[in-house]
Amino acid sequence: MRPATLLPILAAVFFLLPVTIYAQAAAELQQEINQHNTQIDALNKEIAQYEAQLKTTQAAKNTLQNKVNQLDLQRKKLSASISVTKNQIGTTQLQIQQLASGIATREVSIGTNKAGLMESLRRLDEAETQPIAISILASESVSDVWEDVDAIFSMREAVRNDIQTLSEEKRELTDTKTQTEQKKAQLVKQQATLVAQQGSLDATRKAQNELLAETKSQESTYQKILAEKQRQKDAFESALADLNAKFRQAIDPNSVPAAGKGILRWPLDNVRITQYFGDTAFARSGAYNGKGHNGVDLAASIGTPIKAALTGTVIGVGDTGDPNMDGARGCYSFGRWVMIRHANGLSTMYAHMSRIAATKGQSVATGQTIGYVGETGYATGPHLHFGVYLSSNTVIVRLGEASPSARACASATMPVPRALNGYLNPMSYL
């Protein structure tokens, strides 16, 4: 066997599939991804501008025009957020295409190299099984035989290298497939976010239309509605206080879960506290029937996802302004709410939602989305009212059945502690 006869074998061992045909497609995909990212950056800047304008309008006097401006800015911000999510979905789809192309390239390369490796092994086996004496007799000189032996050793080394190349390509293929699966899961999550954002956008449009229809674009009518909301809210607070008094019982201090930072996680990703728990300035001004604020208020735009503060079971959901959800029109209290009971003796309350994304009896995990920020019920702007209750001391009741003073909120169902100290300070557990 002459060295020249080994050249095709070595060529087969080192053969790698040219990837030139994929380079152009990959470059085009990357260009599209870059365009999406540029649009996302521009939209995020636009969203930041809307957020700044919203803070300005929220700090201004509560007038009809200001309220309409707030809702308009919220709609624009949500529309921009939807565009961001759509671009992110487009980017993820392009990245999946990139990964799929990479998988196809790797699979072809592995197949080609595997075929070359098998052929090389077959030729090498033939060369090694031929007795050295026959090789000497068949060759013109002994030096030719030694050259063939050297070529065989070189081919063995090449085979080892090719085996290593195949192993690396298989590992890269596995990694690429894993990345593809992760991207697909990310895509599903982004699509769910998009659906939620579009639902929140519809809710904001509806709120704006209802506001204009209710007030007939008259400032005087708007101020009358505000005054009525305040009156109804005061009546609700009074009924709630009566209910607390009726249910009042001594609480064993030992039954209250020990306080500690990080026991609960924040229910919003971006935290901006506008009112703390207890004897706040707003409470001292006459709010809450002189009993203090029973939670913390976290400002956020309509449609912001609200997440469970800890794993637990949803023990109640409701809408104090919707008769179809055991509510009553004109009951300006919690609006749409969700309560979760946790295994550590705490229950958490989430109120003023624009949309509920949980059902009674559902098990939820820490960080799972259970609803979206709104301003239903008594709220002077979009925010989340987050409360922490002592589970053993809390019941969910229909106010009218428990307190004759409930009046407008008689059909509203909501959680109520049997004593005021059944409300716990959320800051002690966050």
Together in a domain, 201 and 231: no
Crossing angle for the helix pair 219-247 and 142-215, to the nearest 10 degrees: 100
DSSP string, 111-151: HHHHHHHHHHHHHHHHHHHS-HHHHHHHSSSHHHHHHHHHH
Specify the higher pLDDT residue, 17 or 191: 191
- Which residue from 376, 344, 340 is spatially nearest to 358, judged by alpha carbons? 340
Strand duo 363-364 + 346-356: pairing: unpaired
41-50, 115-124, 242-251: least confidently modelled range: 242-251
State the CATH number of the domain containing residue 341. Answer: 2.70.70.10
Together in a domain, 338 and 195: no
pLDDT of residue 55: 77
Model confidence pTM above 0.75: no
Token duo for residue 104: 């196809």
Token duo for residue 410: 């008689």
Cα-based distances in Å from 386 to 179, 271, 363, 422 = 37, 12, 19, 14
**CA 218 distance to own-chain centroid:** 40
Together in a domain, 226 and 163: no
pLDDT digits over 310-337, tens only?
999 999 998 887 666 666 666 767 889 9
- End residue of a domain, out of 151, 180, 211: 211
- End residue of a domain, out of 211, 239, 272: 211
What is the number of other CB atoms lying within 10 angstroms of the CB of residue 348? 25
H-helix or E-strand spanning residue 352:
strand 346-356
Together in a domain, 101 and 35: yes
What is the number of other CB atoms lying within 10 angstroms of the CB of residue 140? 8
**CA 351 distance to own-chain centroid:** 20
- End residue of a domain, out of 211, 236, 268: 211
> Whole domain around residue 395: which residue ranges?
218-428
AA identity, residue 36: H
pLDDT digits over 93-123, tens only?
888 888 777 777 777 776 776 666 676 666 6
pLDDT of residue 104: 75
Together in a domain, 187 and 301: no
Section 393-397 average pLDDT: 86
Count the domains in the chain: 2
CB 308 within 8 A of CB 368: yes
- pLDDT of 128 > 60? The answer is no
Section 21-49 average pLDDT: 79
Together in a domain, 260 and 170: no
Together in a domain, 239 and 200: no
Length of the chain, in residues: 430
pLDDT of residue 86: 87
Q: Band the pLDDT of 303: cuts 50, 70, 90.
A: confident
User: DSSP 3-state assignment of 408?
Assistant: helix
Together in a domain, 186 and 250: no
Together in a domain, 241 and 358: yes
Together in a domain, 241 and 311: yes
User: DSSP 3-state assignment of 349?
Assistant: strand
- Which residue from 330, 93, 69, 340 is spatially nearest to 214, judged by alpha carbons? 330
Together in a domain, 254 and 182: no
Together in a domain, 370 and 240: yes
CB 396 within 8 A of CB 347: no
What distance in Å separates the CA atoms of residue 396 and residue 414, rounded to the nearest whole number?
A: 5
Token duo for residue 86: 């759509």
DSSP string, 232-269: HHHHHHHHHHHHHHHH-----GGGSPPP-TTSS--SSS
pLDDT of residue 306: 94
